[in-house]
Structure 1
């Protein structure tokens, strides 16, 4: 790897770490924020879902931006946007302003994140891509898991506002490093930005996610659910129509012509639903049902986060040595075992047992995430890797958003229809949430057999 690309990769990794970290830091803070602003679960989840939705819309936009502008200019610009969003969130006194700050943060992070993947895939040779992507896994897989733990430590002695303000100095350092150390590589490819694609994709995702978040608080046949679902589908169809045959598509749909990219995406989306859903379910379980502190709920996630930190680079190296199918099969099996332990929890379950289940889940998960991401991108032509990175990460965020909305809806419905206390209703909803995760993980085994090593031509499928 050339020195300039290595420096660029490390700087972007450092800045992106805090962008991804912020995506889950709010999950531990949801109970206290709900009390401060007097809001429900459905309203509170927009602190997470709003972030991921804005993030998901900016990631495909990054494919256009990375072909048009230099990596240095993009990183500095969108790191500054992330900084502004953090400042708004730290000073917000109205809940809508707080959500606005989160979404501005997400706009900044939404471009920083794909930059990491593109720089890595361009800099690393095929024999070492797994190892390089393993290092990147520390950002994409470790930071969202450690986020609730960091949040727990902060909330134990400080207010939720510090969840925004404490990331600001690090973002500023990343900006200064980029200004003085990052080389400028100009692209200036003449492209036309597909505005229709952005508009239809934005409204489609917003309507669908909004409909999911209303489950449990509105009737299915109402506009708030069925009406928004229909609108979301209409916008989705309009989006596909605007992209078909476009010379400058918002998302290059040609990436879906590659079978391994599609299989890896399906597996990744399922895993994102379970991973991000877990970061929502566990804080609610520990704080609202077991009446433990935010610090304890953060500590429950800490061992799993440390496993992810240690195993991410190792799993990348394993991809370079062993068939991806074997790694994914072992990882999903371990993840299922940990999830089954979570399904069996009750209000008298010890914190140690809950922590053990989460740690086992993370160990299995980290064996899978890096290999399937490397698998997805390795089979794409170099010319469409920016589009592949954008699409992969977009679907990752969309799955995380819809997964979070789905699991919160399960808790809301269980709480609403339980014929006992609110705490028991929450516990039933949480157990159903974990059971849903387990069913989704079992579905992964259907797709694992379709994975193959890079030594086999794609035409064999």
Structure 2
């Protein structure tokens, strides 16, 4: 079997003589603005509908298409990092992202704007796997916690400030400034990476299996597209269940093929390592909880409590920012005390917080909601990166690109499924409440219906958190790669 770029790095490149900090800064700078961009545009949708003269369902492709491209590209990253050097991958991703930003900034119509967003998504989809794979190569297992915690800061902080930052910009400037302001930072990132980013891997150029790429694209693309489309409550529509079924069948064939190939696109033998498998299940639950909560709370704030978009963004900002700021701290604590000291208390804390979320009413104050959101985000920061770092620590070096691609793909798919599923549960609960109401059109009843729907969704989320706590009990500290 061919070794991966990561494995080659261990033998061909002397990591001890590489200055790690400039490389880390280069990666974080580029990743921050590419990830920030994922949530920066959503708040401008009402304005875009008017200016571009498109419907909400058409405009939604700016978000769905973004998620779709990322979901399709991430699985292929395991192959790409073995074909290209660290510099080639990162600079290529940033150049594609920057070109997409330019296209978006000057787009005269919706179709051009969509092309720009898809280019941005292509750059972002390659960014995170490259960053994580580089960290795994640069840092030994006993020091990875702090480095991965720094990545966690970027992953959580960037999308957290997106809605609030775009709200501030749109208060006084048109929507194109969302791209004008990102553009110079993207260019600076390219320049910094060109100067400071060093190669930490050497391409081994394994055989490309075209059929695996096709099955991966259809499989992950179908799943992400189907669940993203179902968020509008169209579960019985052939477009939804048809694409999900086709995607599931393609994934089954993809899995069978990967297990038979000598050089698979995504080496699923990574799942033979128990801590990695445990991490994969934990991250699925966490991403479903995180993405669904970030989608449900704005409905609650605006639909039941009458808050503006900007005000609801501000209310969610402290918790999300704190989650990012705490990630480096939890990373250092992971290096010192191991995963159990963080993951078990974190999941127990999450169970308590999710129970409180099921008790929200229209009388719940904004301060109480703020505290609950902050506590939830803190608990997630105690779980996400420690679990991911511990799982990756058990993998031998040649599995690094595959493990990174698997976890990032699962997170993307779990996020799409979580948003669609929980919003569907919320909508169903809302409809059921209004059917039994004597005055379903009154603002008071509509607010109560929204709360009832959110209760149903958070009740299921509560049971998910219990499952996460049970999984947490099986985590144990991994100090180095397992023997194959």
What are the Cα deviations for residues 211-232 of structure 1, in whole angstroms up to 9, with x where unaligned? 3345476775552343333222
Deviation at 1:270, TM superposition (A): 0.8
How do residues 151-300 of structure 1 correspond to structure 2 at under 5 angstroms? 151-184=166-199, 187-215=202-230, 222-300=237-315
TM-score (norm 1): 0.90
Quote the offset at 1:28 in angstroms.
4.1
Unaligned stretches of 5+ residues in structure 2 = 1-15
Tell me the residue number matched to 1:334.
349
* Deviation string, structure 1 residues 259-290 (Cα, Å, up to 9, x no partner): 10010111111111111222222233333443
CA distance in 1 between partners of 2:144 and 2:27 (Å): 17
Secondary structure (helix, strand or coil) at the match of 2:260 reads coil
CA RMSD of aligned residues (A): 2.8
Q: Return the alpha-carbon distance in structure 2 between the equivalents of residues 29 and 209 of structure 1.
A: 23
Select the structure of larger CA radius of gyration: 2
Partner of 2:131: 116
Equivalent residue number for residue 400 of structure 1: 415
Where do residues 360-379 of structure 1 align in structure 2 (5 Å cutoff)? 360-379=375-394
Which TM-score applies when normalising by structure 2?
Answer: 0.86
The 1-side partners of 2:71 and 2:43 are apart by 22
Does the Cα contact within 8 Å between 1:27 and 1:279 map onto a contact in 2? no
Q: Which residues of 2 match residues 422-441 of structure 1 at below 5 A? A: 423-441=447-465
Contact 1:411 1:425 in 2 (8 A): no
Q: Which sits farther off after the overlay, 52-61 or 343-352?
A: 343-352
Distance 2:60 2:351 in 1: 26
Distance, in Å, in 2 between the alignment partners of 1:285 and 1:62 is 37
1:199/1:437 CA distance change after superposition, 3 Å: same
Distance 1:458 1:71 in 2: 25
Q: Give the secondary structure class of the aligned counterpart of 2:383.
A: helix
Aligned equivalents of 1:336, 1:156: Cα separation in 2: 38
2:362 aligned counterpart, secondary structure: coil
> Deviation at 1:47?
3.8
CA shift in 2, pair 1:215/1:3, >3 Å: closer
Q: Does 1:25 align with 2:40?
A: yes
SS at match of 1:244: helix
Q: Which moved more, 1:215-224 or 1:167-176?
A: 215-224
Distance in 2 between residues matched to 1:456 and 1:248, nearest whole Å: 24
Instruction: Report what 1:62 is aligned to.
Output: 77
State how many pairs are aligned: 458
Unmatched runs of 5 consecutive residues or more in structure 1:
none
Residues 186, 331 of structure 1: alpha-carbon distance in 2 compared, 3 angstrom cutoff: closer
Contact 2:71 2:221 in 1 (8 A): no
- Alignment match, 1:352: 367
Which stretch shows the higher mean deviation, 288-297 or 435-444?
Answer: 288-297
- What displacement does 1:416 show? 5.0
